[in-house]
Amino acid sequence: MSETWHWLAEHALCLSLAPPPDVLTQRRLLAMAAQLRGTPGLVDAVPGLHNLTLMTDAARLPPADLEALARRAWRTARPARETLRERALRVRYGGAEGPDLADCAGRSGMDIEAFVAAHAGARYEVACLGFLPGFAYLLGLPEALQQPRRASPRLQVPAGSVAIGGAQTGLYPIESPGGWQLIGRCMQPLFDARLEPPCWLLPGDSVRFEPEDHA
Amino acid sequence: MLELLQVAPMSTVQDLGREGLRHLGIGGGGAMDPFALQRANALLGNAPGAAAIELCAGGLRLRCTRDAWFALQGAAFEMRIEGRLQPAHLRCRVMAGQELSLQGPQAGWFGVLAVDGGIALPPVLGARATVLRGGFGGLDGRCLRAGDRLPLGAASPLQGRRGLAPPRWTPVLGLLPGPEFQALDADSRALLWRQRWRVTAHSDRMGLRLHGAQALHCGAGELLSCASLPGLVQLPPGGQPIVLAADAQTTGGYPRIGQLMAAERWKLAQLRPGDRLQFAPVDLDTARERWDDQQRELRLLRSTLGCPDA
């Protein structure tokens, strides 16, 4: 598999792998991050989609040492056989909670019920968190459900929104501007700065959506 | 306790931010000008990352319920105590009940007003920095406003006035070429260095949107989401770059044409909308040396000023 190593900044080394993202490669990156976490001087290990960025405190872990350590860790890392935890989220699809659902179903050539059944029938895995505190990028969206991003982003996407952007589906943990298509909303709080960890979903979790009736 | 009588709208409590939470989507945040924050704290004998008030493009008026020392760094303001103009760049003593006011900024954009003992709000996720988008840290995760009261740490036994002139600087920012720099066409690669870039009004703690007479063209399309750090120069489809700042999102997918050298990221805090800047290429070794130099300079400053830990 083609791999690229790049220093993104003075103290941030990034390993990226060629697209398209697949679950086993992503799990191998997460295993590498878990293996390296706790290394003295390693400030953070930040997974993206098919990439991992390692940040170092150069006074304790010189850049050259980090790179040697990271290359070794990648060679030896093996993807986990299982997902971290099983997480189920109840989702209200469509209506005010999912204003783009009908358009999405139309673009996919499905009626709304079939679209919802396909979205809720798939199993997803949290590839990484990013963009916002606790925003989960999920792998596993069926190809037929992929959607273009909105031409003009919304200024306010409510917390809990379930969205599709390109080949990814994700969850907005807090209110934010956003350019993805909104298909539903979950009531489970996804981010709370007072909790440890503050995020309800973590990389490596498996996620299922359960359609919930509108109140 | 600090009692705010008046404060510029986007001002917040900031420290040096949070480390090690990027994998949860939580960025480092912290002062836009961390260099100014550390200089102000050194002048007061505070810990390097003690929390302070970050002023954005405007001043404040406040009163303190105990005798206190203040130090102002970053953007330049006129400082008055009970209406009397104070000499610039010096730490100054304000007695309980007296009014301190800052007017400006006359130069720069983000100012740091530190107080001896620091602002003692409870830390959230390991820091006191305000995260506006997440609604946590600082004072209830929001901007400061008139009527707010900020708790203070223990007073320091400081003697006499000490000062620190602001660093001399030019709006030329050292830039490490990014992973997609080579995907720019040849004209764009030359333009990136040659062209002067204007800071637009759509600039804040999340990022500075730049505008150049000629847009840049990049062959790389949207990328898979990858960690992005403050100082990253991204190129969205319109061809006008965005420089990520302290509160930027933790991952991004736009082509990465460069990364500001860390030792110069503070300059972003002192550029105003309408100002022009230029990028100059820098290599990794030089950027690392400049960072180490800056850290050494700060340690030296702390020992010169007799900070307890130095």
Task: In whole angstroms, give the CA distance from residue A76 to residue A29.
Answer: 11
Helix and strand totals (H; E) in chain A: 4, 13
Mean pLDDT of A75-80: 94
Q: According to the model, what pLDDT value does residue A123 have? A: 94
Q: According to the model, what pLDDT value does residue A167 have? A: 86
Mean pLDDT of B217-237: 93
Q: Please tell me which of the candidates B26, B222, B291 has its beta carbon nearest to residue A133.
A: B26
Q: Is B145 on the interface with A (CB under 8 A)?
A: no
How close does chain B come to A90, measured CA to CA in Å?
22
At residue B293, does pLDDT exceed 90?
A: yes
Q: Please tell me which of the candidates B22, B137, B262 has its beta carbon nearest to residue A44.
A: B22
Q: Is B256 on the interface with A (CB under 8 A)?
A: yes
Q: Is A27 on the interface with B (CB under 8 A)?
A: no
**DSSP secondary structure of A128-184:** EE-SSTTPEEEE---GGG-BPPPSS-EEEEPTTEEEEEBTEEEE-SS-EEE-SEEEE
Q: Is B178 on the interface with A (CB under 8 A)?
A: yes
B7-19 pLDDT per residue, tens? 999 999 999 999 9
Work out how many CB contacts closer than 8 A connect A with B: 127
Kindly determine whether residue A7 and residue B284, on different chains, have CB atoms separated by under 8 Å: yes
How close does chain A come to B86, measured CA to CA in Å?
39
The percent of residues in chain A predicted with pLDDT above 90, rounded, is 87
Q: Is B105 on the interface with A (CB under 8 A)?
A: no
The torsion region of residue B117 among left (phi > 0), alpha (psi -120 to 50) and beta comes to: left
Task: In whole angstroms, give the CA distance from residue B37 to residue B114.
Answer: 7
Q: Of A170, A205, A203, give the one whose Cα is nearest residue A184.
A: A170
Q: Is A32 on the interface with B (CB under 8 A)?
A: no
Neighbours of A96 (CB within 10 A): 10
Kindly determine whether residue B25 and residue A130, on different chains, have CB atoms separated by under 8 Å: yes
DSSP β-bridge partners for residue B71: B114
Mean pLDDT of B176-193: 97
At residue B309, does pLDDT exceed 80?
A: no
Q: According to the model, what pLDDT value does residue B188 have? A: 98
A96-144 pLDDT per residue, tens? 999 999 999 999 999 999 999 999 999 999 999 999 999 999 999 999 9
Measured in residues, chain A has a length of 215
How close does chain A come to B219, measured CA to CA in Å?
17
DSSP E strands in B119-250: the ranges are 149-150, 172-177, 197-203, 207-211, 226-227, 232-234, 242-244
Q: With contacts defined as CB-CB under 8 Å, which chain B residues touch A203?
A: 23
Closest chain B residue to A53, measured at CA: B227
Kindly determine whether residue A133 and residue B284, on different chains, have CB atoms separated by under 8 Å: no
Which of A5, A6, A7, A8 has the most B C-beta neighbours within 10 Å, making it the best mutation to test the interface with B? Answer: A8
* Complex ipTM: 0.95
Maximum separation of any 2 CA atoms in chain A, in Å: 58
Kindly determine whether residue B25 and residue A9, on different chains, have CB atoms separated by under 8 Å: no
Which of B224, B243, B259 has the most A C-beta neighbours within 10 Å, making it the best mutation to test the interface with A? Answer: B224
**pTM for this predicted structure:** 0.95
Q: With contacts defined as CB-CB under 8 Å, which chain B residues touch A43?
A: 19-20
How close does chain A come to B259, measured CA to CA in Å?
6
Mean pLDDT of B42-71: 97
| DSSP classification of residue A105 | H
Q: According to the model, what pLDDT value does residue A1 have? A: 67
At residue B310, does pLDDT exceed 70?
A: no
Let me know: does A87 contact A45? Beta carbons within 8 Å.
no
Out of A109-113, A153-157, A190-194, B208-212, which region has the weakest mean confidence (pLDDT)? Answer: A153-157
